[in-house]
Structure 1
Amino acid sequence: MGPPAARTISQEAFDELVKENIDDLGMDPDEALEDAIQTLTLQGVDLSGVIKCVPGTSNVEDNLVIQLMNELKSIVTSLETSNLSSDDQNGEKIVVLLNKLCGLCSVTGSENATLAARNGGVEALTSLCSSLDCKFERALALGLKALSLIVCDLQSSESYRRCGGIRTVMDILHGPPRSLDIRESSFAVIASASTGNEVVKESFMELKVDQLLVEAVKEESNNNMQSLYDAIRVILTPDDPRVAASQVFGYARTFAKVGMADALVNALRKGVGSSCLPSACAALKAVAVNDEICKSISEKGGIDVILQCIDESGQQGNRVIAKSCCSLLSKLAASDANKIAIVQKDGIEKLIILSSRFSDDPSVIQEVMSIITVLALRLPENAARAIEAGLGDLTIESMQKYPTSHQMQKQACLMIRNLVVRNLENRTILLNGGVEKLIRRAKGMPGCKDAATDALRDIGLDDYNV
């Protein structure tokens, strides 16, 4: 089991503590408030979602988020009792309220989203979304968007699960054809609710979310919908610290069986012109959890598509796409059959060209080194081809140029090991180029000691521990 969930406190209990500081300890209001905040923080209490004010001098109800929550709850009650008519005026009223709520909960660094969730926002929005009929499409899209914003931690995702939110969003997606905004917001809710919550992921899988998502990816109109790919990635990510053995790897195999890998490969064919290409790469990487799936992706033309995108990203100078495609290719190269296929398709040469185009960005070079590390593992012929293609010079130049890029230095050391451990001729080439001095320098960098020591040993130096 992972660490326990953070302790929380109600608004009433917080206000009472501040009041006790004033009445019992004689503190002035500002001092009482600050003391309460510091005391609870030291005790590990999560104060997000609590309005930090002095009772009597300011009112919780003055907070705009709380006001919107009260209005929202009133609307939901009216819908549930059939007291709200389906006319344009009422629909516009809901839209205005939800627009304000989305704006407040989108503010970076604020606690507005948590405040809304802690004050009944998850339950109210879920009820609203389940009650709105087809005439309120704009309101439904905004309600789902607001829900995706306020379901932002374990506590709110548990509230979402308990109030029937999982069934609600699945019913919306399974129902009559919806607008792109509604579908996009629905997928965003799936992603946010599933983040860090294994139970929610399981509940979605029980409702066959895998089949729903694969059909969505196949639909042409959804190809530029980032939240769709985010939902796939999140459901297949083992990110719940409470769980020792996640089930997501089994879910990935289920996704592959219903055709998700094939659908995502087709989505990648849109090329670098698609704004969602990095998200689609991340989704496919999450699906590729074993050798069989990795090979099937290659058989469907996945490696060809990725190498083409790598070429195009270099030509267009798109670093984000370059790194995303390299990360995906590295995952697929875990299959020995795919290693051979990548090299046969001139993958090593394409990667070295990419590095030269992004010679000013060590993060791209690091991704390239990561792929070469995998390609050279157990395959000395690949290691030889990499050196022949100029990788030795690239490695030495990069290690010289970016001495403070510790992660790239570490990856260079890991790559050097695989390039030389079965290729004695590569040792000579790299040593003659001055790599020993660079590895020894990397050895003193944070996080690089073990990788550098192993590289010195595998390159044939007896004093590798010095």
Structure 2
Amino acid sequence: MGSKQITQETFDDAVQENITEFEMDPEEAVREAVQQFESQGVDLSNIVKAVRPPASENGQRQKHQILLTLDALGRAVAEQDLAELPGHLSSLAAQCKEQLAFRCLAGRHGAYAAVLSACRLAAGDRGLLLQALGALAALLDGQPDLLEAAGQELVLRSLRERRGDAEVALAALRCARHTCLRHERNRQALVRAGILPLLTGAILQHGGSADVVRAAASALRVMTFDDDIRVPFGHAHDHARMIVLEHDGLRVLIEAAKAFTDNSGVLSELCATLARLSVRNEFCQEIVDLGGLNLMVTLLADCMEHPDVVRQVLGAIRALAGNDDVKDAIVDAGATELIVLALRQHLGNPQVCEQGCAALCMLALRKPHNCGVIVRGGGALAALQAMRAHPREVAVQKQACMLIRNLVSRSRDLSQP
């Protein structure tokens, strides 16, 4: 059963009651209201936990600050006041970025329509369009249901008609990513409308911009997710296949990486996307042939101090190892030693331990020679240490057990003390 929900008005009334009836100060009133509702199992993640200004003298309720900003934006849009729009859009975007509750409150009060109208008014003004798209991206973060056909067309048009403008492309890419995360209908609609070549095209067009490359790679990766629990099945595999076969996605990503050899953030993003595209044997082999494996091994060696990067690279190696021939290439490249080193160095990080054990598990599967390399390199001991370090982490325990099983299933001599 899901958590209980309340409206913003119900929460605000409870806070006001604490102030007027129990003479609490505002901060205490908010804390008391939060404790009261959470003790009843109410989900407050979408509720603004702040004191609303007191009612005016005529008894009219006052509004939260973000709604006042939204009202001002609505008036500027209605009056087509281009001089006032930038300030209101900037203010709305800043408040939306503060927390999900602000975005939800604005979304429930017509913010999407107001911002979309502002985008239309800004069509001929690059600076204003940038601010409008920025506000739209901030609003859509965590609220993909707000997007509809007109918004989809705006995102596509911005990427298509202003493809040479890196800043506009970046803002549109962020909108695309937010609208497709955990939303299969939006993903399928945008793919049908032709967003995939626009995403790979953005990487090619702006290959020198770290921000654009990261955003485009992230958007491509989201297109391969199957994370919307509202649909029985998604098109994740089909989208991955289209990116690779129809839009040369593997080559685009690996070539882009060559411009950022000293930027671990971009390389990590590209590796994570390559992992999502490794859905067929031939795709895994193509990544190796294009130099993707060397990229991953180098990145793992150079960024061993950064657990987030290490986790992404281990996940990519795990995906590549789905191809039996590529397993040998990974071992020959010296990746097993680096994986064991990563496990030892980040033993306290359950995500790194999970991905490290999973990568070794894949390398050991059906490969007795690799099993010997892993055991001699300390892989089995590292897996046991990970199990001891994280006894309550189911994913770590599972992957470590599967690794041990694969190590001994075809190499019985390795099971001896």
TM-score greater than 0.5 by the shorter chain: yes
Aligned CA distance change for structure 1 residues 204 and 401 (closer, same or farther; 3 Å): closer
Counterpart residue number, 1:250: 238
Code of the aligned partner of 1:148: A
State which of 391, 400, 408 in structure 1 corresponds to 2:396.
Answer: 408
SS in structure 2 of the partner of residue 111 of structure 1: helix
TM-aligned CA deviation for residue 211 of structure 1? 0.5
- Match runs of 1:170-249 below 5 Å: 170-177=156-163, 179-219=165-205, 220-225=207-212, 226-249=214-237
SS in structure 1 of the partner of residue 410 of structure 2: coil
Aligned CA distance change for structure 1 residues 60 and 238 (closer, same or farther; 3 Å): farther
- Alpha-carbon contact 2:122-2:132 (below 8 Å) kept: no
State which of 367, 378, 382 in structure 1 corresponds to 2:370.
Answer: 382
CA offsets 1:425-454 (integer angstroms, 9 cap, x no match): 1101xxx2xxxxxxxxxxxxxxxxxxxxxx
Once the two structures are overlaid, the 10-residue window that deviates more, 283-292 or 175-184, is 175-184
Q: Distance in 1 between matches of 2:8 and 2:310?
A: 47
Aligned CA distance change for structure 1 residues 105 and 43 (closer, same or farther; 3 Å): closer
Of structures 1 and 2, the larger Rg is shown by 1
Counterpart residue number, 1:103: 94
Aligned CA distance change for structure 1 residues 206 and 50 (closer, same or farther; 3 Å): farther
Aligned CA distance change for structure 1 residues 4 and 43 (closer, same or farther; 3 Å): closer
Counterpart residue number, 1:295: 285
- Alpha-carbon contact 2:368-2:410 (below 8 Å) kept: yes
Q: Distance in 2 between matches of 1:106 and 1:46?
A: 15
CA offsets 1:214-267 (integer angstroms, 9 cap, x no match): 111223134433322221122211111111011121111111111112111223
Once the two structures are overlaid, the 10-residue window that deviates more, 269-278 or 140-149, is 269-278
Query: So what's the TM-score if we normalise by structure 1?
Result: 0.75
Q: Distance in 2 between matches of 1:18 and 1:344?
A: 66
Aligned CA distance change for structure 1 residues 281 and 364 (closer, same or farther; 3 Å): same
Q: Distance in 2 between matches of 1:290 and 1:60?
A: 59
State which of 421, 424, 427 in structure 1 corresponds to 2:415.
Answer: 427
Counterpart residue number, 2:133: 144
Aligned CA distance change for structure 1 residues 230 and 403 (closer, same or farther; 3 Å): same
1:322 is the counterpart of 2:313: no
CA offsets 1:179-200 (integer angstroms, 9 cap, x no match): 4332211111001111221111
Q: Distance in 2 between matches of 1:206 and 1:398?
A: 44
Q: Distance in 2 between matches of 1:342 and 1:200?
A: 37
Q: Distance in 2 between matches of 1:352 and 1:384?
A: 14
Q: Distance in 2 between matches of 1:190 and 1:313?
A: 29
1:417 is the counterpart of 2:408: no
- Alpha-carbon contact 1:48-1:111 (below 8 Å) kept: yes
Q: Distance in 2 between matches of 1:372 and 1:240?
A: 30
- Match runs of 1:53-72 below 5 Å: 59-72=60-73
Aligned CA distance change for structure 1 residues 242 and 366 (closer, same or farther; 3 Å): closer
1:268 is the counterpart of 2:257: yes
Q: Distance in 2 between matches of 1:395 and 1:7?
A: 43
TM-aligned CA deviation for residue 361 of structure 1? 4.8
Counterpart residue number, 2:112: 122
- Alpha-carbon contact 2:96-2:139 (below 8 Å) kept: yes
TM-aligned CA deviation for residue 171 of structure 1? 0.6
TM-aligned CA deviation for residue 331 of structure 1? 0.8
- Alpha-carbon contact 2:226-2:236 (below 8 Å) kept: yes
- Alpha-carbon contact 1:104-1:112 (below 8 Å) kept: yes
- Match runs of 1:1-150 below 5 Å: 48=47, 59-79=60-80, 84=81, 90=83, 93-108=84-99, 111-135=101-125, 137-150=126-139
State which of 146, 160, 173 in structure 1 corresponds to 2:147.
Answer: 160
Q: Distance in 1 between matches of 2:48 and 2:385?
A: 51
Aligned CA distance change for structure 1 residues 51 and 312 (closer, same or farther; 3 Å): closer
- Alpha-carbon contact 2:318-2:358 (below 8 Å) kept: yes
- Alpha-carbon contact 2:354-2:399 (below 8 Å) kept: yes
Q: Distance in 2 between matches of 1:261 and 1:77?
A: 46
RMSD value, Cα: 3.6
Code of the aligned partner of 1:385: V
TM-aligned CA deviation for residue 401 of structure 1? 5.8
- Alpha-carbon contact 2:337-2:377 (below 8 Å) kept: yes
TM-aligned CA deviation for residue 356 of structure 1? 4.6
CA offsets 1:331-384 (integer angstroms, 9 cap, x no match): 111111211221222222332344455456564344222111001111112112
Aligned residues: 400
- Alpha-carbon contact 1:188-1:230 (below 8 Å) kept: no
- Alpha-carbon contact 2:46-2:105 (below 8 Å) kept: no
- Alpha-carbon contact 1:352-1:390 (below 8 Å) kept: yes
TM-aligned CA deviation for residue 48 of structure 1? 4.1
Q: Distance in 1 between matches of 2:208 and 2:366?
A: 43
Q: Distance in 2 between matches of 1:425 and 1:121?
A: 66
Q: Distance in 1 between matches of 2:204 and 2:91?
A: 34
Aligned CA distance change for structure 1 residues 384 and 5 (closer, same or farther; 3 Å): same
Give unpaired runs (5+ residues) of structure 1.
433-466
